[in-house]
Amino acid sequence: MPTRKTTTSTKKKSAARKPAKSASAALRGPVPPYGVAIREAIARGKPQEMKAVAASARKYLTSVQSALDALEKSLTTKR
């Protein structure tokens, strides 16, 4: 039965596993508009980041509200 070999490798970890070096990294892509992301943006205190998170949350909420309205309309017509 083969055994698992253990090595002490000095290879660098892949770039995909490294965390972002700065808090501004959150501005590079969409941020889920949930409470944690909003509270963390507030805690960092960067106005530009807080505005971006707020805009993202508003856009998401608009989309969700539209979907909810369509769902409710579908429910009333199916009865």
Domain span including residue 69: 31-78
Q: Tally the domains of the chain.
A: 1
Cα pseudo-dihedral 11, 16, 20, 21, rounded to 10: 30
Query: pTM of this prediction?
Result: 0.53
Q: What is the pLDDT of residues 25-45, one digit of tens each?
A: 555 666 566 789 899 999 999
CA-CA distance, 39 to 7, in Å (whole number)? Answer: 42
Q: Is residue 16 part of a domain?
A: no
Question: How confident is the model at residue 75, as a pLDDT?
Answer: 93
Q: Is the pLDDT of residue 9 over 80?
A: no
CA-CA distance, 63 to 32, in Å (whole number)? Answer: 13
With a pLDDT cut of 70, the percent of the chain lying above it is 57
Q: Is residue 43 part of a domain?
A: yes
Q: Is residue 11 part of a domain?
A: no
